[in-house]
Amino acid sequence: MTRAVGVPRVPPAPAASSDEARQRMRANGSRDTAPELALRRELHRRGFRYRVDQAPLRSLRCRADLVFRRVQLCVFVDGCFWHGCPDHMSWPKANGEWWRAKISATIARDRRNDYLLDAAGGTVFRGGEHEPAWLAADRVAAALESSAEQLRSEPKCQRQLTRRLAGDVAMPIEL
Ligand SMILES: [Zn+2]
């Protein structure tokens, strides 16, 4: 795997210090987490339709949990631990230095992805594992509304220009 530009290098993982740590490692990057499923259910119940686990940009190694293609809204439901939630993250005592490097790299990658998706003309929505599904769904609905509003007010040539500037004309999410 090529290392992403601007994201710090993380040394190889040390041996897991406990069963809990081992489980946590295994769960990293897994899709269909409980908060993600709850948000999907709630949005579906409200009549929204979306794609699940999609790569919004071909040039970017990044998968969004949900993608609303028409308005180019990418939804991420971030786990508190892996994404370094300021309110719920508690640092493991064992291998503390490695965990700091690991989580810092994840946060740096999140910010880089936010920037690149935004530069490509998309909108990034980040919800947290700790957020109730109804509240996240309310916020997604509001983000969809403002993305749709923005699309309506932006001339099509401007949108295409944004994509060209982002260097990814082959963006698979459609207008
Ligand atoms: Zn949290």
| Digit-coded pLDDT (tens) for 86-143 | 999 988 889 999 999 999 999 999 999 999 999 888 999 999 999 999 999 999 999 9
What spacing in Å lies between the alpha carbon of 14 and ligand 1's midpoint?
25
Gap between the Cα atoms of 143 and 124, Å rounded: 9
What spacing in Å lies between the alpha carbon of 138 and ligand 1's midpoint?
18
Does the pLDDT of residue 38 top 90, yes or no? yes
32-165 domain in CATH 3.50.50.60?
Answer: no
Q: What is the pLDDT of residue 40?
A: 96
Gap between the Cα atoms of 31 and 115, Å rounded: 23
Domain positions in the chain are: 32-165
What spacing in Å lies between the alpha carbon of 128 and ligand 1's midpoint?
6
What spacing in Å lies between the alpha carbon of 84 and ligand 1's midpoint?
8
Which of 18-22, 42-46, 67-71, 112-116 shows the lowest mean pLDDT across its residues? 18-22
What spacing in Å lies between the alpha carbon of 76 and ligand 1's midpoint?
13
Q: Put the strands of the sheet holding 123-128 in their side by side order.
A: 51-54, 64-68, 73-78, 123-128
Q: What is the pLDDT of residue 2?
A: 46
Gap between the Cα atoms of 52 and 31, Å rounded: 9
Q: What is the pLDDT of residue 162?
A: 61
What spacing in Å lies between the alpha carbon of 56 and ligand 1's midpoint?
25
Amino acid making up residue 96: G
Q: What is the pLDDT of residue 172?
A: 42
Q: What is the pLDDT of residue 139?
A: 97
- Pick 164 or 142 by higher pLDDT: 142
- What residues does the ion ligand 1 have nearby, CB within 5 Å? 80, 85, 87-88, 128, 130
- Please name the residue that has the structure tokens 């499923």: 37
